[in-house]
Amino acid sequence: MSWHGIRTVAALELRQRVRTSKWPVVLGIWVAVIALVAFLAYYATNDEQLRSGEAMYDVVVFFVLGLAMLIVPSLTATSVNGDREHGVLATLQTTLLTHWDIVLGKLVAAWALSMAFLVSALPFMAWAFFEGGVSFGRILLSLLVLVLVLAVICTVGLMFSTLTARPIASAVLTYLAMGALVFGTTIGFALSAFLVTDKEQQTVFGIPDNWYDTHQPPNVDPSDPTLTQEQIDQLMKAGQPTRADCTTFTRTTDVAHTERIWWMLPLNPFVVVADAAPSKPRPPQRNEVSTSAGFTPMRWISGGARLARNGPGGVSDECWVDEASSSSNQDPIEKALGTAPVWPYGLAFLLLAGTGAATVAGRRLRTPVRRLPNGTRIA
Amino acid sequence: MTIEVQGVRRAFGDVLAVDSISLTANPGEVTALIGPNGSGKTTLLLMLATLLVPDQGAIRIDGLDPVTQPTEVRARIGWMPDGFGTWDALTVREVLLTVAAAYRIAPDRARTRTDALLATVHLEDLADRRARVLSRGQKQRLGLARALINDPSVLLLDEPASGLDPRSRIELRDVLRGLAAQGKTVLVSSHILTELQEVADRAVIVARGRSLETQRLDDEHALTATASWRIDSLDLEGLTAWLADHHVPARRVGGGLTEVEVAGEENAARLLADLVRDGIRVTGYARSQGALESAYLAATEDRR
């Protein structure tokens, strides 16, 4: 393996790509679609209550990732078996290039092309940045994670193209793998949630169930003409529990131990990208009840994943009375966002998978071949 | 730079592609590998080209084992596959420069080498055209140039003449003879026996994955080997009677021709002289098939 060899293969790949396919056209459509999405996101979220920059950023980043997951596999998913079909792989294998030169050269070329797509989406991320609400560090972090995730997708595609004889098969397998990562993990998590749900004793801080038995609401007739509106309100309030009525008690209830299955969530590239840089909660502004207003999908995903990881531990705070004065009564997602992130696990898994895929691809290109898989031809 | 193959065997699943092939190809010689389709020629060349591991047997190229020392072997060989595929989007010159880079040839040396090879295979005019526009024969010529780019001492050519026009074939013959004259080992597989007859020094005949025999094809051999000669005569009855009288084995073939088996050119010339002396009116007297053809047909006869 040598830098010279990798560069030779990468230059060959890039030169072919740029000349044969309609990359300028594809890139043009890509930019147009992202621009359209960015504009729509801007208008849809351009509202006093919503935070335009944040929402725009989330939408654009997710769209870039989603579209890239559709386009990037096509860069590598046919690259080895396609070369075999054209009878040009063996002519490289009989030169002084090693199998690692060929694998890494092809990877570098595909990755560089996927970077072209990412770079062309940068202006729209910059737009979201200038809309406000997104920190520069956050953009850098989500870009870094995107770059790594795209590299992993390239590698998975390359691996499948070394494993199957026909390009169509490897393309399908690559898209299936992408689908498993995105939808499979989510569906798997949702379905296995039933498996980890048990009837359990749970400690609850809240209004005991028997509170309402002992505190009969006063028998007030709102249409009684002898009472003023003020008096009616007062009487009604006396029948409602206050924070002082909350006690700690235990109760048997369904508890989902998501902390046993949370690891499925960060395998999803979308969760990794979202959790790496969720938006910061904005300080509450005037006339606002909750701080979690605004369309911020990345924050929801990130908070949800962390919430699942934390599980139903500790005391369940259900003292939902007198909201405005309650300090501990926080949005659970908000609370979860304060805990440790899950994306390092997801990214570590993806990088491990990428390394594994590259290793398999390298082994499959090693010559001389002892065992030739069914249907593959050597030259 | 000798190629030595000893009892090599290779199966793909339950298909036995090469059963047992042994051969020796010497430097300075062109060795032909001939045999019917599916006789294992291409598989043998893939093993020689360091792409496949033989199941059994041993291969030595210049004393090196392609299985354990593939890099060293690759530096010494040039391989031209059957049905050479090429990077269609690249120009002819770029194809050769890319392969040169893959052999770690310095850029300036690669350029001079590329220009020289393009001249050798007569592709200078097309040097800056995309490889896609090349015809089959032109692609074959590019494949030959590709195989020669690292100045290999051992050349493995799989059906190099297929798709070539007559002029290109003659030129290929000259190129191969030139390479052999430089002391290189040339192993060429082909179906076109008449072509090989003129270019090869020896022929290895393979059928059903086995090497059947090695035949020398040089002049000395032509002088002594048995060959078939066809005689055309105005006097068919007289000719048949004469041949029967003189105990010359003969048989009728189509078009009023008679075919005889004669050992060596000396005897063939004497037979013609005798026929003419005895007043048989001969109008044609020619080799019906080359020595190689006879050997090939004899060796692969059981296929019929």
**Tens digit of pLDDT for each residue in A186-202?**
999 989 888 888 887 77
Domain that holds residue B78: 3-217
Is B241's pLDDT higher than 80?
yes
> Per-residue pLDDT for B65 more than 60?
yes
Q: Which residues of A155-186 are buried (b: 16+ CB within 10 A; e: fewer)?
A: bbbbbbbbbbebbebbbebbbebbeebbebbb
Residue A88 to residue B98, Cβ atoms within 8 A: no
Q: Do B102 and A367 touch (CB under 8 A)?
A: no
pLDDT at B244: 86
Total number of domains in chain A: 1
Taking 80 as the threshold, does the pLDDT of residue A48 lie above it?
no
User: Does any domain span residue A351?
Assistant: yes
**CB-CB contact of B158 with B45 (8 Å):** yes
| Domain containing residue A97 | 3-192+342-364
pLDDT tens profile A223-253? 777 777 777 777 766 667 777 777 777 778 7
Whether omega before A266 lies within 30 degrees of 0, making that bond cis, reads: no
Cβ B208 vs Cβ B20: under 8 Å: no
A49 confidence band (pLDDT: 50, 70, 90): low
Describe chain A by its helix, strand, coil percentages, rounded to 5: 65, 5, 30
Structure tokens at B180: 């052999």
- B274: CATH: 3.30.70.250
Q: For residue A377, which residues of chain B lie inside 8 Å, CB to CB? A: none
Residue A350 in this model has a pLDDT that exceeds 90: yes
Lowest mean pLDDT among A164-178, A326-340, B63-77, B264-278: A326-340
Tokens of A299: 């924050």
Residue of A nearest to B148 (CA): A95
Sign, Cα dihedral of A255, A259, A260, A262: positive
Give the side-chain half-sphere CA count within 13 A for A68. 29
In this predicted structure, what is the pLDDT of residue B197? 78
Residue range A147-168: mean pLDDT, rounded: 93
- What order do you get walking across the sheet with B154-158 strand by strand? B56-61, B3-12, B15-25, B210-216, B202-207, B30-34, B185-190, B154-158, B77-80
For B183, counting Cβ atoms within 10 Å of its Cβ (0-12 exposed, 13-18 middle, 19+ buried), the class is exposed
pLDDT for position B79: 95
Residues B106 and B190 in one domain: yes
What CATH number should be reported for the domain holding residue B117? 3.40.50.300
* Domain shared by B174 and B161, yes or no: yes
Mutant choice from A91, A97, A101, A376 vs B, greatest count of B C-beta within 10 A: A91
Chain B nearest-CA distance from A293, in A, is 54
β-partners of residue B59 are: B5
Non-local CB neighbours of A238 within 8 Å, separated by 6+ positions: A218
Lowest mean pLDDT among A169-178, A351-360, B234-243: B234-243
Mutate to test the interface with B, among A79, A95, A99 (most CBs of B within 10 A): A95
Most confident of A127-131, B183-187, B215-219: B183-187
Tell me the average pLDDT across B65-80: 94
Which residues are CB-neighbours of B69 under 8 A, at least 6 positions away?
A: none
At A94, give phi and psi (nearest 5°).
-90, 0
Q: Specify whether B7 is located in the same domain as B146.
A: yes
Q: Do B175 and B280 share a structural domain?
A: no
β-bridge partners, A197: A256
Q: How many CB atoms lie under 10 A from the CB of residue A42?
A: 19
Chain B CA closest to residue A84:
B85
Tell me, yes or no, if B162 comes closer than 8 A to chain A by beta carbon.
no
* Residue at A159 is within a domain: yes
Longest dimension (CA), chain B: 73
* Cα atoms in the Cβ-side hemisphere of radius 13 Å centred on B127: 16
B51: nearest CB among A8, A97, A368:
A368
Q: Which of residues 171-190 of B touch A (CB under 8 A)?
A: none
**What b/e sequence results for A131-144 when a residue is b if at least 16 CB atoms lie within 10 Å of its CB, and e otherwise?**
bebbeeebbeebbe
Residues B184 and B147 in one domain: yes
* pLDDT above 90: residue B55: yes
Output A64 or B74, whichever has higher pLDDT. Answer: B74
Examine the pLDDT at A290 and tell me if it is beyond 70. no
Nearest CA in chain B to A18: B89
A106-115, A322-331, B144-153, B254-263: least confidently modelled range? A322-331
- Mutate which: B18, B87, B92, vs A, most A CBs within 10 A: B87
User: Would you call A369 and B52 a contact, using CB atoms and an 8 Å cutoff?
Assistant: yes
Is pLDDT above 60 for A345?
A: yes
Q: Which residues, 6+ apart, have CB-to-CB distance to B90 below 8 Å?
A: A12, A15, A16, A19, B98, B130, B131
Chain A residues bordering chain B (beta-carbon distance below 8 Å):
4-5, 8-9, 11-12, 15-16, 19-20, 86-88, 90-98, 367-370, 372, 374, 378-379
Q: Which of B188, B217, B246 is the last residue of a domain?
A: B217
From chain A, the residues in CB contact with B75 under 8 A are 96
Among B217, B252, B271, residue at a domain's last position: B217
Least confident window among A110-114, B92-96, B230-234, B287-291: B287-291
Q: What is the mean pLDDT of residues B240-244?
A: 87
Span A54-69, mean pLDDT? 84
State which residue of chain B sits closest to A5, comparing Cα positions: B102
Interface of B with A in 28-57 (CB under 8 A): 46-47, 49-53
With an 8 Å Cβ cutoff, are B67 and A368 in contact? yes
Assess whether B140 and B81 both reside in one domain.
yes
Residue finishing a domain among B217, B232, B254: B217
End-to-end, the C-alpha distance of chain A in Å comes to 22
For residue A230, what pLDDT is reported? Answer: 77
What is the CB neighbour count within 10 angstroms for residue B108? 8
> Across-strand partners of B76?
none
Confidence class of residue B304 from pLDDT cuts 50, 70 and 90?
A: very low
Q: Where are the beta strands (DSSP E) in chain A?
A: 197-206, 247-256, 316-317
The rounded percent of chain B whose pLDDT value lies above 90 is 48
Q: Using a CB-CB distance cutoff of 8 angstroms, which residues of chain A are in contact with residue B74?
A: 94-96
* Contacts with A16 from chain B: Cβ below 8 Å: 87, 89-90
pLDDT at A378: 72
pLDDT of A82-114, one tens digit each?
998 888 999 999 999 999 999 999 999 999 999
One domain for residues B234 and B176? no
Check A86 against B83: CB less than 8 A apart. Answer: no
| Residue B184, pLDDT above cutoff 50 | yes
**Residue entry with tokens 């989007």:** B89
**What pLDDT sits at residue A220?**
66
Strand partners, A285: none
Mean pLDDT of A285-314: 71
pLDDT of the residue at B253: 79
Q: Which of A57, A61, A51 is nearest to A273 (CA)?
A: A61
Give the type of residue at A296. Answer: T
* Rounded to 5°, angle at Cα A290 from A289 and A293: 120
- Give me chain B's average pLDDT, please: 88
pLDDT at residue number B252? 81
Say if residue A180's pLDDT is above 90.
Answer: yes
pLDDT digits (tens, 9 = 90+) for A328-341: 446 677 777 778 88
Q: Is residue A319 part of a domain?
A: no
Residue (of B200, B196, B187) closest to B156 by Cα position: B187
Cβ pair B238, B49 in contact under 8 A:
no
Q: What angle do CA B246, B252, B253 make, to 5 degrees?
A: 140
Contact assignment for A378 to B51 by CB distance below 8 Å: yes
Structural domain total, chain B = 2
More confident residue, B104 or B193: B104
The stretch A294-312 carries a mean pLDDT of 81
- Residues of chain B in contact with residue A11, where contact means CB-CB under 8 angstroms, are 98
Q: Does B236 touch chain A (CB under 8 A)?
A: no
Other beta carbons less than 10 A from residue B68's beta carbon: 10
Taking an 8 Å cut-off on Cβ atoms, the answer to whether A91 and B98 are in contact is: no
Contact B102 A95 (CB under 8 A): yes
Per-residue CA distances from B17 to B47, B187, B188 (Å): 12, 19, 18
Higher pLDDT, A11 or B248: A11
The pLDDT value given to residue A268: 92
pLDDT at B49: 94
Of A126 and B75, the structure prediction assigns the larger pLDDT to B75
Domain identity same for B199 and B254: no
Same domain, B264 and B201: no
- CA A378: distance to chain centroid? 40
How far is the C-alpha of B80 from the C-alpha of B175, rounded, in Å? Answer: 14
Averaged pLDDT of chain A: 82
The partner residue sitting opposite A16, judged by closest CB among B47, B81, B87, is: B87
> For residues A235 and A324, which has the higher predicted lDDT (pLDDT)?
A235
Q: Residue A102: list chain B partners with CB under 8 A.
A: none
Residue B132 and residue B67 share a domain = yes
Asked if the model's pLDDT at residue A2 lies above 80, the reply is yes
Residue B74 forms contact with A (CB below 8 Å): yes
Which member of B85, B94, B99 has the closest CB to residue A87?
B85
DSSP state of A282: P
pLDDT band (50, 70, 90) for residue B158? very high
Assign A291 a pLDDT band (cuts: 50, 70, 90): very low
